[in-house]
Amino acid sequence: MTTINKLRWGVLGTANIGRAAVNPAIQASTNGELVAVASRDLERARAFAAAAGIPKAYGSYEALLADPQVDAVYVPLPNKLHLEWTVRAARQKKHVLCEKPLAMTAAECVAMQRAADTNGVLLMEAFMYRFHPRTEDVVARVRAGAVGEVRVVRSAFTFRLTKLDNIRLDAALGGGSLMDVGCYCVNASRTLLGSEPTVAQAWATWGPTGVDTELTGTLRFPGGAVAHFDCALTLERREYCEVAGTTGSFAAEAAFLPGKGPAELVERRPFPDGRKEERHLTAGVDQYQRMVEHFARAALEGAPLRYPALEAARNMAAIEALYRSARNGGAPEPVAAIG
């Protein structure tokens, strides 16, 4: 009997994020191998496979899902297609690592989790920043009371989108700044506050294609703690997160995409020697590789998956409430409780 000790991955689509970050992370991982890529266009799949050293190329996503030598799929398709292809992959008994945001709504996330459970496979949303040791360290220290009672999380994720044919500007494919980058701010806020928001408020600028090109949002948590953030497809790159409590705060630039180099964290509180601030450096890693190795350990060894799809459903419930508010001129909207 052969022991399978590497997860055999396939990727659906020739997406930029696959090419630039996740596919190479799977190829570099200690417990995975990238065995196949599928595209809607066979020639594109072949060219992509040849350039990336992927053994097999398929001309349809169905064909890849029918390959018994694929154990898991990575889904970096446009947001609107996450539900369909995750469910179809689960029915073919493939584990699924699906890009963020996991789906268009919380209800879709719940349906995807159900499909995974019914078919005995794993499903996780690919929020890679959670696997960076700096994020893990901040979350653990915040939980342990390092900043006292957390009252505010402040974050931003903006960049200037210059290509007008980008999926992020296509409303029918699930585009928009909140779906694309604001979802990180919502996720980090919920994670750092360790609870779910109950009320959401947002203001948006809607672009000519019908997506929110800029959005500013506020989430109110039980006990009155607040998270506020902004996201945009129109502003110069800004990316940071700050968590403030009664006795101190942590702040990070490049909070979601620190790259592979050392990542800095600023800790602010009155230190015993009189200093008000300390800067820590976390050694550089590939957070994408840490994510896929975690997922493969769960699939191969039954290690607990850190983030079930229900976690993604809670993120989407907050995003849905923010959108309702933004469409309603900023009126406060309740966030649906999930599960």
Least distance (Å) between residue 271 CB and ligand NAP:
35
The yes or no reply on residue 160 touching ligand NAP (CB under 6 A) is no
Q: Does 17 bind ligand NAP (CB under 6 A)?
A: yes
Answer for which of 73, 87, 167, 317 binds ligand NAP (CB under 6 A) is: 167
- Angle between the 106-118 and 82-91 helix axes, to the nearest 10 degrees? 10
Residue 100 in the binding site for ligand NAP (CB under 6 A): yes
Among 100, 101, 99, 214, residue whose Cα is nearest residue 156: 214
x/- mask, ligand NAP, residues 261-280, rule CB under 6 A, reads: --------------------
- Which residue, 338, 24, 308, 42, is CA-closest to 196? 338
Cβ 160 to ligand NAP shortest distance, Å:
15
Helix ranges restricted to H, the chain: 16-17, 23-28, 42-52, 61-65, 82-91, 106-118, 133-143, 177, 183-193, 287-301, 309-327
Residue 40, interface with ligand NAP (CB under 6 A)? Answer: yes
* CA-based torsion, 52, 54, 59, 61: positive or negative: negative
Q: Catalytic residue among 6, 56, 100, 163, which? A: 100
Closest CA to 26 of 232, 243, 299: 299
Cα angle value 312/259/145 (rounded, 5°) = 60
List strands edge to edge, sheet with 150-160. 277-282, 263-268, 249-253, 234-245, 150-160, 226-232, 212-220, 199-206, 333-334
Q: Which stretch binds ligand NAP (CB under 6 A): 14-22, 191-199, 205-213, 271-279?
A: 14-22
Residue 9 CA to its chain's centroid (Å): 19
The 168-197 site mask, x for binding ligand NAP (CB under 6 A), equals -----x------x-----------------
Verify binding: residue 23, ligand NAP, rule CB under 6 A. Answer: no
CB of 158 to ligand NAP, least distance (A): 14
Q: Determine the 3-state secondary structure of 65 from DSSP.
A: helix
Query: How do 249-253 and 199-206 pair as beta strands?
Result: unpaired
93 carries an active-site annotation? no
Binding window for ligand NAP (CB under 6 A); candidates: 8-16, 51-59, 204-212, 319-327: 8-16
Of 109-128, binders to ligand NAP (CB under 6 A) are 126, 128
Instruction: Closer to ligand NAP by CB, 39 or 113: give it.
Output: 39
Of residues 59, 78, 284, 330, which one binds ligand NAP by CB under 6 A? 78
φ and ψ of 277, to 5 deg: -150, 145
| Contact status: 79 vs ligand NAP (CB under 6 A) | yes
The CA dihedral of 253, 259, 262, 263, to the nearest 10 degrees, is: 20
Contact positions with ligand NAP (CB under 6 A) in 310-329: none
Contact with ligand NAP (CB under 6 A) among 8, 9, 10, 13 = 13
Name the residues annotated as catalytic: 100
> Which positions touch ligand NAP (CB under 6 A)?
13-17, 21, 39-41, 44, 76-79, 81, 99-100, 126, 128, 167, 173, 180
